[in-house]
Amino acid sequence: MSKLPTGWSAARLADVAEVISGQAPPGSSYNQLGEGVPLYQGKSEFGLLYVGAPRFWTTAPSKLAEPGDVLLSVRAPVGPTNLARQRCAIGRGLVALRARRGVSQMFLLYWLRYSQQKLADQATGSTFPAISSQVIREHPVSLPPTEEQEQIVAAIEEEFSRLDAGAAALESARSRLQFCRIALLKHSFEPLVASGETAPLWEIATTQLGRMLSGTRETGRHAKPYLRNRDVQWGQINVSNLPTMDFPDKDGERFRLKDGDVLVCEGGEVGRSAVWRSPLAECYYQKAIHRVRCSEALLPDFLRYYFEFLARTKQFGDATSGMTIAHLPQEDLRSLRMPVPHTATQRAVVERLQGWQETERRTLEALKHLRDRANALRSAILASAFSGHLVPEGHKQQSHGILVNRLAADQTNIKSLKRTLISKRHTKASV
């Protein structure tokens, strides 16, 4: 272990905090109706407070966290932390840590975030990694004096507030990109729709749903890769680690994809689509996907962007059916009216949108780089804080001097008050 900063001491987590392990509730004792004590079972996210308990414990749980306790996830995943915002029951995936006298709760929280990876490295189990209560209790803590703990917390939060402002700016930039994309889609297609030069899709393209997966029909003799709904994203198609199913000769020609086919999601995010550009020599598709094969009057990319325009502006509602999950039946897809301008106009729209897409891609890459850098800075700030370097030595001495002066002033005031009281007693006695 590296040398501790001056005035710091080495401790165990059990020395600086009460360690309260969670318990597994019986199935009959918890509900999702808001009745009883809020129950948290783990899966913390980076942030300071849990928001919205998914379950509630109706009986009297014995393992409770109080507001402000640090909640440490100890089972799949190991290491994430949060603060309890209310009195709550904790499941076996959590441990509550209640700082002892002289220990700052926020110092404890940031120390655990600083040493999160060390805790995670001690987890055992491959399916559900977990860490034992004994390991938690023995986890080392480098502890400065109480006043310096508060100074360190204040310095961390000052630095983090700047990063939080930067993160908010990055998220705002992402939102503006989405806004600009929708605005460009509307600018490209709304005038074309308003022109009245529209036609039902069946007049300018053929549509077909993919093959249904059936276990009784799978022999493995004609196994071919096929695309699922989740493999088709906006403007891109995943072709890695595709599943296979049998496509015998009678089905091969019918369901085999050709270059330029537009693949449209039938359910889930209705209308999500991409153009097949033959990244594989041979590939097929399942029933959750529509294949649209365009005539010469319709450019595949123009159709793909038109579907995105409808989805982003929430205009697929009239063409969908279903109660809990919206679907786009083939007949509704075939009847969908769309603008069909001259192919030169379609090509201009596609080039404009593809140009913006490239700009958007580069911008998102830059934003990701900045976000990764901000996360690295968070780690660096914590490392600096707990090596004793974040709070300048002069500031520590100055704060110490202020505290000494305040104590001295208090002593002077106390002596002065004593003299005044003695003087008053003498005055009363003489009277």
405 found inside a domain: no
Considering the domain architecture, whether residues 234 and 331 belong to the same structural domain is answered as yes
Q: Which pLDDT tens digit goes with each residue over 329-384? A: 999 999 999 999 999 999 999 999 999 999 999 999 999 999 999 999 999 999 99
Spatial CA neighbour of 265 closest among 323, 174, 223, 326: 326
Distance, in Å, from the CA atom of 58 to the CA atom of 39, rounded to the nearest integer, reads: 10
Strand segments, DSSP code E, in 7-91 are: 9-12, 17-21, 30-31, 37-40, 55-57, 64-65, 70-74, 78-83, 88-90
Q: Does the structure show a pLDDT above 90 at 253?
A: no
Residues of the chain above pLDDT 90, percent: 66
Contact in structure between 285 and 210 (CB atoms under 8 Å):
yes
Quick one: 241 and 284 in the same domain? yes
Domain contains 395: no
pLDDT of res. 54: 74
Query: Does 96 lie in the same domain as 55?
Result: yes
Number of domains in the chain: 3
Is position 268 within any domain?
A: yes
Q: What is the residue range of 29's domain?
A: 9-144
Which residue matches tokens 């309260």? Answer: 20
Read off the tokens for 207: 């549509």
Check whether residue 153 and residue 267 sit in a common domain. no
Q: Is residue 319 part of a domain?
A: yes
CA gap 44, 90 in Å, rounded: 12
CA dist 79 and 130 (Å) reads 10
Residues 213 and 85 in one domain: no
Summarize pLDDT for 101-116 with one digit per residue, the tens: 999 999 999 999 999 9
For residues 280 and 208, membership in a common domain is answered with yes
- On whether residue 336 sits in a domain, the answer given is yes
Q: Are residues 62 and 168 in the same domain?
A: no
The model's pLDDT over 277-327, given as tens digits with 9 standing for 90+, comes to 999 999 999 999 999 999 999 999 999 999 999 999 988 765 454 444 578
Residue 186 has pLDDT above 90, yes or no: yes
**Whether residue 327 sits in one domain with residue 246:** yes
Among residues 229, 231, 237, the alpha carbon closest in space to that of 259 is found at 237
| 382-424 pLDDT tens trace | 999 999 988 876 454 444 333 334 334 444 544 454 455 445 4
Same domain? For 138 and 80 the reply is yes
Supply the mean pLDDT for the chain: 86
Kind and range of the H or E element at 147?
helix 146-194
Q: What is the pLDDT of residues 27-74, one digit of tens each?
A: 777 787 888 888 888 765 656 677 677 788 888 788 899 999 999 999
CB neighbour class for 14 (10 Å; exposed up to 12, middle 13-18, buried from 19): middle
**Does residue 248 sit within a domain?**
yes
Same domain, 22 and 109: yes
Looking at the DSSP bridge assignments, the partners of residue 170 are none
Q: Residue 406, SS3? A: helix
317 lies in the same domain as 377: no
Residue 419 domain-assigned (yes or no) = no
Q: How far apart are CA 153 and CA 142, in angstroms?
A: 14
* 304-335 core/surface letters (b: 16 or more CB in 10 A; e: else): bbbbbbbbbeeebeebbeeeeebbbeeebbbe
At 53, give phi and psi (nearest 5°).
Answer: -70, 135
Last residue of a domain, one of 144, 164, 187: 144
119, 26: one domain: yes
415 part of a folded domain:
no
The C-alpha atoms of residue 92 and residue 62 are separated, in whole angstroms, by 12
Contacts of 354 (CB under 8 A, 6+ apart): 301
- CATH code, domain with 82: 3.90.220.20
pLDDT greater than 50 at residue 174: yes
